Every structure is written in C-alpha cells, then in structure tokens.
Chain A
Amino acid sequence: MAAHVPYRATWLNARVLLVNALAFCGGFSIMSLELLGGRILAPWFGGSIYVWGSIITVFMLALSLGYLIGGRLSLRAPTLAKFGGILTVAAVILYPTVHLAEPTMVWVFERIEDPRYGSLVASLMLFVAPTVVLGAISPYSVRLLVRQREESGKVAGTLYFVSTLGSALGTLATSFYFVLWFEIDTIVTCLAGLLLGLGALAVAVGVNTEAPA
C-alpha cells in the first residue's frame, strides 16, 4: 500500500486539475453562448431590451434547474467518467443549435407576433437544454472533489471561483474578439468541440483510473 502513495498523490492532483478545467470550460461556454444568444435572436426578434430579458431569464432558469439536477446526480456513485459524460452530453445537445436555430426561429416568428414572447419562446427552445446540462457541472464537480465535510465549503468556493472566472473570460473573449474573427456558428461549433474533447478526456481518465465501485 505504502508504495502507492506517491502515485496516488500525483493522480489526485491531475484529477483535481481536470475537474477544475472542466468547471472552467463549463462556465466559459455558458456565458459565451448567452452572449451569442443575443446575436442569434436579433434578426428575428430585434435588439430591444426585452430580447436580452428573455435570454437572461432562460439562462438563469436553465442554470437553476441544472444545479438541482447536478446535485441529484452526484448522489448516485459519482465518478470522473460520469462527470465527463455530462460534458459530452452538453456538447451533443449544444451542437445541433447551429442547424436548428434558423428553423426554430422561423417557426416561432410565424406563430407569435409579439417579439417579447417570441424571443422568450425561441430562447426556451434553443438554449434551455444545453444550459441545464452545463449547469449540472458545478454541483457535480463539488461532489467529486470534496473528501471531508470540513473542506466542503473551501472546495465549493474554489470551484465557483474557477467556473465564474471561466464565465468572465468567456464573456470577454466572445464579445471582444470571437465575434470579430469568426461567424457565430463557428464559435458555437468550437464550444461544442471543446466540451466534447474535455468530456471525452475525463471519461478516458476516469475509466482508466477509477476502480469499479
């Protein structure tokens, strides 16, 4: 057993780093997507203040649900592999937005005249699913890293710090640079690619290092 200690310590550090990286990218993707949401809706519902109202409402609602679901999921034998699975699912749900946005907004535009409710319904249809899944990342990551009750606040605080920092950077990078360099669909595809890549990495690491329960 003693011979395993150094190995175990490095592995733990790598694991902590990976979970934090995933939390960071989750936060980054959420805010990048939220900002792009305004651009995606504007051609159909305009740039009025209520369009942003709709988007922010929907993201907050979806995140609150995501937190709830992530917390529940963390009760059932949490593993790094499953955590990676959440990000993979987020990527798989996010990517089709690229192709579904236009037909969805046409559908809503034809049925709802008032752009307030039009933008609200379109946001619900386009952004709830990926954001709920992204929201599940935070509570699940807390569960993965907490080992003792006394340190739970510290672990949660660090993870909130990391994921909110990711959100801040996602907001800045998207609004200052990405929209100047890339098309919206390219940015969303890259976000999905990033989530998929990191999710798959976490699954691979988890499967190879975690002993079956």
Chain B
Amino acid sequence: MIRWRRLVLAAALASALPAASAVDVLHRERSLYQTILITEDRNRICMQFSVREQQRNQSCFNPRRPKRMVFTYTRMMMGALLLEPEPVNVLIAGLGGGTLPTALHDLLPEAHIDTVEIDPAVVAAARRYFGFATGERQVVHVRDARVFIKRAVTDDVRYDLVMLDAFGGDYIPEHLMTREFLDEVRALMTDGGVLAANTFATSRLYDHESETYRAAFGMFFNLRLRESNNRVILARNGPLPDKAELRANAAAWRGRLRAYDVPIREFPARLSLDVDWDVTRRPLTDQYAPANLLRGD
C-alpha cells in the first residue's frame, strides 16, 4: 500500500516538476482590462492575456533571436508591405509585446509609428520584458483606439498603413468591429493607404466580420495560412494591386524580412479574393455589434 502511494507520488512529481520548472511566471498582474501574465521558458518570453488554452500566447519573443517573429499571425500582418512597401506614417491599434511596432521601426528608418493601447499595464510590461522602446519615431498613446482614430480624423492626421491588432484575449472590444469604425479607419487612410487586420477565422463571426469589411472597403485580400487559426485582412483605400506588383514587392522585401522569419515570398500566392463566407450575414454596425455573442456560437 505504502509502496503504491510512493509510486503514485513519484509519478505525480515527475509529471508536475518539468512543467513547473520549464515555464516560469515572471510577472502576473490584474490590470484594469485583463490579466497579464509574463512567462519564460527555455527559449522564449511570452505575454498572455487569457487563461484559456487556445488563446494563450499573445506575444512571444526569443531573447537569443529577438527579431524572429514567433507567431504566424504576426508574420502574416507583415504582408501589408506587399500592398504598401514603404509606409511613412503607420498606425497600430493594440501593442501586445510590441513585436509589430518594433519590427516596423527597425525595417522602415523613415517611418513614424503611432501605437494605440488601451491598457497602461501592457505598455509597462512591453517595456520591461520585451525591450519595447519608444522614441521620436515610436510613440505609444494610452487610449481607446476608437477614440484615438475619431479624434485623428477630425485633426486631419493621415496614415498610409493602419494595422488592427486589438483583439487578443477572451473579450472582443465590439466597438472596434463595426462598419462605422472601419469607415473612420478608412477616412484616416491616405489614398492608396493600406489596412491590415488580424481577425477571426472561425465561428459565425467570420461571416459577419467579412461582410463588415466588404461593406467598408469593397474587395479585400484574405491571407490565411494552414498553421494559423487567424486570418489577416489586407484592404486598401483604392484599387488592390495585381499579382505582378505583389510579387515584385515580395521580392524587394524578402531579404530584409529573413531575420524576422516572415516567408513573404509565399504570401502573394496565398492572398485570396474569394468570397468564402455567407454573404447573407448582417454586417456589424454601431447599432448591431454582438461580436462576442457571435463568436461564442
């Protein structure tokens, strides 16, 4: 009997110990908006907003190869460079660990990057654990993205690249997924300006969201890769480029993106104009925006 107990105990310890020692929690914080968890394992540091398994890692980096983009969706967001290869004014909604703003800051020496993040605790964690540094060309605004964008439209500010990456944890900010919001984003974009949006590829929300983007932008590219549950929408304030232009931009960016692990040469073939969603679904509006309920269905 005692022997059995010992065996069970040893087995339990054996299974629990590696997990406990492999992932260290560096920081845990309940901020105003979410639980922020910073973890470290053998080769990466991660920021998590959700305790749910599938939604776990928001932002990760490998301190030995800090440039390398760990997540497929982050690499997919860089596909925006196929449509606008040399953006000068960039707006990013949602900071996370600062992977996108840091990469764009390094890759585009002329660019000015404004990042909007609602949660001051995320900004602090990105600085402390992810080496995110602000400066003259790298500015963070602690504000609700919708309010920032509405204000920027009135102030006549324009961007040639807008990246929406504000949906992270368990809760979608519903006022950032409506036709009116996208109209405001479009009003903020220069002629030919590009939008890259990290969105959902599953649930009924996919149909509603796709219809919402179509209502605001008309045709757009869908970028999906097999290894990711996300899809990235690439839209333009103007006509979309043809395949030849996309391939040329991919070739031009290929070398510079190698250190980031962005397989940009594969992207042009993956950009789809197919309407692969149910077009009878209602676009989301400020009047009708149950994104979280639709996602749960």
Contacts of A39 in B (CB 8 A): 174-175, 286, 289
Is A184's CB within 8 Å of the partner chain B? yes
Which residues 59-80 of A have a CB within 8 angstroms of B? none
State whether B293 touches A47 (Cβ < 8 A): no
State whether A180 touches B181 (Cβ < 8 A): no
Contact of B144 among A115, A176, A180 (CB under 8 A): A115
Which residues 165-213 of A have a CB within 8 angstroms of B? 176, 179-180, 182-185
Which residues 39-93 of A have a CB within 8 angstroms of B? 39, 42-49
CB distance from A173 to the nearest CB of B (A): 13
State whether B287 touches A183 (Cβ < 8 A): yes
With known contacts A42-B174, A42-B175, A47-B173, A183–B146 Cβ distance under 8 A: no
Is A109's CB within 8 Å of the partner chain B? yes
With known contacts A42-B175, A183-B288, A47–B144 Cβ distance under 8 A: yes
Is B180's CB within 8 Å of the partner chain A? yes
CB distance from A198 to the nearest CB of B (A): 26
Which residues 117-167 of B have a CB within 8 angstroms of A? 118, 143-147, 150-151, 154
Report, as a range, how many residues of chain A touch the other chain. Answer: 20 to 34
State whether A184 touches B147 (Cβ < 8 A): no
Contact of B293 among A49, A113, A180, A184 (CB under 8 A): A180
Which residue of chain A has its CB nearest to the CB of B178?
A43
State whether A179 touches B175 (Cβ < 8 A): no
Contacts of A42 in B (CB 8 A): 146, 174-175, 286
State whether A180 touches B290 (Cβ < 8 A): yes
Contacts of B181 in A (CB 8 A): 43
Which residue of chain A has its CB nearest to the CB of B176?
A47
Contacts of B118 in A (CB 8 A): 46-48
Contacts of B151 in A (CB 8 A): 113
Is B1's CB within 8 Å of the partner chain A? no
Is B19's CB within 8 Å of the partner chain A? no
Contacts of A176 in B (CB 8 A): 293
State whether A46 touches B290 (Cβ < 8 A): no
State whether A109 touches B144 (Cβ < 8 A): no
State whether A46 touches B293 (Cβ < 8 A): no
CB distance from A37 to the nearest CB of B (A): 13
CB distance from B240 to the nearest CB of A (A): 28
Contact of B180 among A43, A48, A180, A185 (CB under 8 A): A43
Seen from chain A, the residues whose Cβ lies within 8 Å of a Cβ on chain B are: 39, 42-49, 109-110, 113, 115, 176, 179-180, 182-185
For this complex, 17 residue pairs linking A to B, each with C-beta atoms less than 8 Å apart, are A39-B174, A42-B286, A43-B180, A43-B181, A45-B144, A45-B147, A47-B146, A47-B174, A47-B175, A48-B144, A49-B32, A49-B33, A115-B144, A179-B289, A179-B290, A183-B287, A184-B286
Give me 20 other A-B pairs in contact (C-beta within 8 A), A43-B175, A46-B118, A183-B288 excluded.
Answer: A39-B289, A42-B175, A43-B146, A43-B181, A44-B147, A45-B144, A46-B144, A46-B146, A48-B32, A49-B32, A49-B33, A110-B154, A179-B288, A179-B289, A179-B290, A179-B293, A180-B294, A183-B287, A184-B286, A184-B288
A-B pairs with lowest CB-CB distance, top 7: A46-B144, A183-B287, A42-B175, A46-B147, A180-B290, A43-B286, A180-B293
